[in-house]
Amino acid sequence: MRFWHPFAALCLMAGSLVNVAHAQDSYPSRPVRIVVGFPPGGPTDVAARIIAEGLQKALKQTFIVENRTGASGGIGAQYVAKAAPDGYTLLVAANALTLNALTTPNAGYDPDKDFVPIALMATQANAVVVHPGLPVKNLEDLHKLAKKGGLSFATSGQGTSSQMIGMYLFNALWKSDMAAVPYRGAGPADIAVASGEPPVGFTTIGGAYNMQQAGRMKILALGNDKRMPILPDVPTMAELGYDNFSASWTVLFAPVGTPAPMVEKLNATVNQLLKDPALRQKFAVQSMDVAAPLNPKEVGAYMQRESATWKKLVDATGAGVK
């Protein structure tokens, strides 16, 4: 029978620890995948590609954006939740990550237990939008029209922030019968409203602004903490007397168990990138506001506050998991 000598066992353990430390110090030593649960061209995808390009230049390694779409971002989230926590599979997600778990039985992941928040990258205002042919000039006009019944509104997907906010406004607060029509992302939802089918939408501002500039859409109000310089005449929901209508966030996550040094390295790199004027301009072109730098613990606290707010909205709509 063969026995391990205690000294040999200690040497093997020490060697393993050195290898782990080296892997973390040299991270990333191979290409990194950033998974997005929505189609190319939407705000989450665009934010992921902006940050992937920056990380690639800063860390001298390839960062690949991979779109795994379906279930309002749930397919991509499930994939990353089950991935090895080695720092080489990451997730860029928006509010739908939290909302799916609140509204979908057996979502396939727990946003609080399966992911480690790395960095808050940007926020983007939500917007109440209508087709130009709809006979309304402002949100109050839409309120009056909604009371007559027969309207529906486009959203970026089942369980997304646009759907929950829309249901909260149109159904819970206005008590109208407006039905949500989910699409596979903000882009398709914007196109639907621009075609008039349906004539109302709740979406993110990026695509909506471009549609308004082209005369294909009208923006009535913003879910944001302040008016936007590019839309000085469009009021915020808060100005119109509506609370709990905040902007959508975009956060970089890793699977739980990812080594802290890797998380901290990515956090520091992203926060440094967000100071770069050229990169900030790329976000600005998409009507996104670059976030203030937060460490992973602060991002986690931010996520907890956001989760509490969204739970209130979901409960008010009756859409929560029973």
CA 77 to chain centroid, in Å, comes to 11
Tens digit of each residue's pLDDT (9 = 90 or more) over 111-164:
999 999 999 999 999 999 999 999 999 999 999 999 999 999 999 887 788 888
More confident: 245 or 57: 57
pLDDT at 317: 86
What is the mean pLDDT of the segment spanning 75-89? Answer: 97
Which of 146, 185, 151 is CA-nearest to residue 46?
Answer: 185
Query: Which pTM does this prediction carry?
Result: 0.83
Strand partners, 221: 128
Q: In this structure, how many other beta carbons lie within 10 angstroms of the beta carbon of residue 206?
A: 24
Q: Which of 21, 30, 28, 44 is nearest to 250 (CA)?
A: 44
Which residues are CB-contacts of 127 (< 8 A; sequence separation ≥ 6)?
202, 203, 204, 205, 208, 219, 220, 221, 222, 223, 234
pLDDT band at 12 (very low <50, low <70, confident <90, very high): low
Q: What is the mean pLDDT of residues 12-33?
A: 68
d(CA 2, CA 110): 45
Q: Give the 3-state secondary structure of residue 60.
A: coil
**What is the reported pLDDT for 16?**
45
DSSP assignment of 245-283: ---EEEEEEEETT--HHHHHHHHHHHHHHTT-HHHHHHH
Phi, psi torsion values for 293, nearest 5 degrees: -65, 130
Q: What per-residue confidence (pLDDT) applies to 5? A: 56
Average pLDDT over residues 229-250: 91
What is the pLDDT, as a whole number, of residue 15?
55
pLDDT-derived band at 100, boundaries 50, 70, 90? confident
Ramachandran quadrant class, 249 (left: phi over 0; alpha: psi -120 to 50; beta: rest): beta
**Helix crossing, 277-285 with 43-59: angle to 10°?**
170
The pLDDT value recorded for residue 252 is 98
Is 298 buried (19+), middle (13-18) or exposed (0-12) by CB count in 10 A?
middle
Report whether pLDDT(288) > 60: yes
* Phi then psi dihedrals of residue 204, to 5 deg: -85, 160
Write down how long the chain is. 322
- The arithmetic mean of pLDDT across residues 225-251, rounded, is 91
Q: Is 181 helix (H, G, I), strand (E, B) or coil?
A: strand
Q: Strand pairing partners for 268?
A: none
- The string of DSSP codes covering 95-122 is THHHHHHHHSTT-SS-TTTSEEEEEEEE
Per-residue pLDDT band for 17 (boundaries 50, 70, 90) equals: very low
Complete domains list, the chain, with CATH: 30-123+249-317 (3.40.190.150), 126-223 (3.40.190.10)
Question: What integer pLDDT is reported at residue 86 of this predicted model?
Answer: 98
Rounded to 5 degrees, what are φ and ψ at 160? Answer: -85, 170
CA-based angle 319:321:322, to the nearest 5?
Answer: 105
* Neighbouring C-beta atoms of residue 33, cutoff 10 Å: 18
Interval 181-190: pLDDT, tens = 998 888 899 9
Sheet holding 152-155, edge to edge: 179-182, 152-155, 200-204, 126-130, 218-223
pLDDT bin (cut points 50, 70, 90) of residue 243 is: confident
> Chain-wide mean pLDDT for the chain?
90
pLDDT in tens, 187-209: 899 999 999 999 999 998 988 99
Judge whether residue 10 has pLDDT over 70.
no
pLDDT value, residue 322: 52
Q: Detail the DSSP E strand segments found in 50-199.
A: 63-67, 89-93, 115-124, 126-130, 152-155, 179-182
41 vs 17, which has greater pLDDT?
41
Instruction: Please state, for a pLDDT cut of 70, what percent of the chain lies above it.
Output: 92
Residue 67 has pLDDT above 90, yes or no: yes
